[in-house]
Structure 1
Amino acid sequence: MTTSTDVRTLDVPGATLTYDVRGPLPTADGTPPLVLIGQPMDASGFGTLASLLPDRTVVTPDPRGLGRSTRHDGSQQNDPVQQAADLHELLVALGAGPVDLFGSSGGAVTGLALVTAHPEDVRTLVAHEPPVVPLLPDAAQAAAAGARVTSTYQERGWGAGMAAFIALASWKGELPDDFGSEPVDPAVFGLPTEDDGNRGDPLLSGVSDAVTAYRPDVAALAAASTRVVVAAGVESAGLLTWRASQALAAALGQDLTDFPSDHGGFLGGEFGQRGEPAAFAARLREVLAAG
């Protein structure tokens, strides 16, 4: 199959979406396209993973307001329900559904919202480490810690905010009530200590709070025609997104599906991070084939 990339755009209410199509549409053998979505990560993070799936037609959208997708609605908020509506419009435009869908992090939350609203759009959803904080037993502590990350970013800039986020993301087990109340030195993580004045980071600024506040409709997901697979990296065990994924899997009456590496296990050097992309792609292929 060709691995050339066709860059397309689609106007939806309030935004213009940009997305990549690798491979033919419709597919020659009738295999559903595979859609890869992130949040706040855009399509640029899926370059390695897409290249390791040359037998599939792979579609990688940028969510509205992220990457190359522009918004005209006057908002800066990243809402998984809105992003799911956008993705539904994109899949209708493709005319190739139902698709297989792999969602990473906030993209997995978008996938859950899409299956809730439009289960006919998706054959199999692999939701990889969705940060569905409301399902955690320590949801209040996690939400408070997330708010402290945002306030640190707003008060002290990107390096301090990212250091606070890393400390939260790398904590194993339930969070104490006062987690994040003590400042974290950015230099410990090799991050800049100077404030560059920018406050537009979609991960740290609070504009993606609706993602971590999203409570999945477990009953709707269980009743959907879509096969929902909740997955997490083996190296993430005990961390917040792993615990949230485990809680969702348990609510759906399934075991958590292991994937290689960690939260970014599919990365092959994107953003300076490298997981185990070849093993990750093989595992994704295996999970999709099992359906």
Structure 2
Amino acid sequence: MTDLHYDITGHGPVLLLIPGGAGHPMGLDPMTNALSAQFTVVTYDPLGLAHGRLGEPVEDQRVQDWSDGARRVLDETLPEGESAYVFGTSSGAIAALDLLARHTERLRHVVAHEPPCVGVLPDGARQQAAFGEVCDVYRARGRAAGGALMTAVLEEREAGELPEGQPLSREEELATPMALFLRHVIRPFTAYVPEAGPSQARLTVAAGTDSRGQLLHRTAEFLAKAQQADFVEFPGGHLGVLQHPVDFAARLARTLLGTAPRS
């Protein structure tokens, strides 16, 4: 059983944050600080990248491992008899959905922000293949080419000519969270299809206002209907948590506490 890595700040009901990408919580401090007045914010670091493990070996990731780790974090931090709020963004949103499906008993309300679980879409197989190509391009031509293709996939447009580049060395890759995401996270996580079914906890699926007309906004709307969940728009785009942390935190708090208007 792997060690758990997480940080705690604030006071109030427990709010578990599951970051996107390779799970490195870099850049989340402004949002976390804004939330800490209302919640005990528990920020999960699935691979321990912010806790001394950046540069250590990493294998292809499994959604279930992230959600099992999230459950263990709640076992350590959630007071007996209480239930937790959960927020996940991007790949972290997929882990949050799996946590909801498999460990719902201690959850109160889950917000999944732009989960790239594109397999739920009518054209899901094609979109999953596109993310697989992103992984292949990264491995063959490096981070710039892989990132450019991923942006094109998210914006649902032709990629055009991709930047030239070389594969990263294994040492460079292990020291770069974005590279770890492109090599070890994007393919298995975008292959995940959430289970539908009754849950003790409430689910809200979210997308950024700046993502309208893009793949993950379409995915979020479709998933919300399929899961009979609420759909709410948040400030910014896919990286809204970094682009508008204070406004994003305010929207999240209103959504979790039940006072946010439904979009």
Aligned to 2:34: 52
CA distance in 1, matches of 2:154, 2:60: 22
SS of the residue 1:52 aligns to: helix
Deviations 1:194-217 (A, max 9, x none): 655445522221444221111111
List structure 1 runs of 4+ shifted beyond 6 angstroms: none
Answer whether contact 2:209 2:237 (CA < 8 A) is retained.
yes
The amino acid of 1:18's aligned partner reads H
The amino acid of 2:40's aligned partner reads T
- Structure 1: runs of 5 or more not aligned: 1-12, 25-30, 173-178, 187-192, 268-274
CA distance in 2, matches of 1:84, 1:204: 20
> Aligned match of 1:232 in 197, 201, 207?
207
Aligned to 1:107: 92
1:33 aligned onto 2:14: yes
Aligned to 1:217: 195
1:87 aligned onto 2:65: no
The structure-2 alpha-carbon separation of the partners of 1:199 and 1:21, relative to structure 1 and needing over 3 Å to count, comes to closer
SS of the residue 1:130 aligns to: coil
Answer whether contact 1:135 1:244 (CA < 8 A) is retained.
yes
CA distance in 1, matches of 2:213, 2:244: 20
CA distance in 2, matches of 1:95, 1:49: 21
Aligned to 1:262: 237
CA distance in 2, matches of 1:86, 1:111: 11
SS of the residue 1:202 aligns to: helix
Deviations 1:137-182 (A, max 9, x none): 211221221122112111111111111112212226xxxxxx65x5
The structural deviation recorded for 1:67 is 3.5
The structure-2 alpha-carbon separation of the partners of 1:260 and 1:161, relative to structure 1 and needing over 3 Å to count, comes to same
The structural deviation recorded for 1:136 is 1.2
Aligned to 1:136: 121
The amino acid of 2:10's aligned partner reads G
SS of the residue 1:266 aligns to: helix
The structure-2 alpha-carbon separation of the partners of 1:157 and 1:286, relative to structure 1 and needing over 3 Å to count, comes to same
Answer whether contact 2:135 2:182 (CA < 8 A) is retained.
yes
The structural deviation recorded for 1:253 is 2.4
> Aligned match of 2:59 in 59, 62, 76?
76
RMSD over equivalenced CA pairs, Å: 2.3
CA distance in 1, matches of 2:75, 2:119: 31
The structure-2 alpha-carbon separation of the partners of 1:65 and 1:139, relative to structure 1 and needing over 3 Å to count, comes to farther
The structural deviation recorded for 1:128 is 0.6
Q: Which has the higher contact order (CA 8 A, sep 6+)?
A: 2
Task: After superposing the two structures, state which structure 1 stretch, 80-89 or 140-149, moved more.
Answer: 140-149
Deviations 1:37-96 (A, max 9, x none): 11324222321101112312111010135443759xx86122111111111111111242
The structure-2 alpha-carbon separation of the partners of 1:277 and 1:75, relative to structure 1 and needing over 3 Å to count, comes to closer
Answer whether contact 2:60 2:183 (CA < 8 A) is retained.
no
Q: Which has the higher helix share?
A: 2
SS of the residue 1:224 aligns to: coil
Q: How many residues align?
A: 247
CA distance in 1, matches of 2:203, 2:230: 11
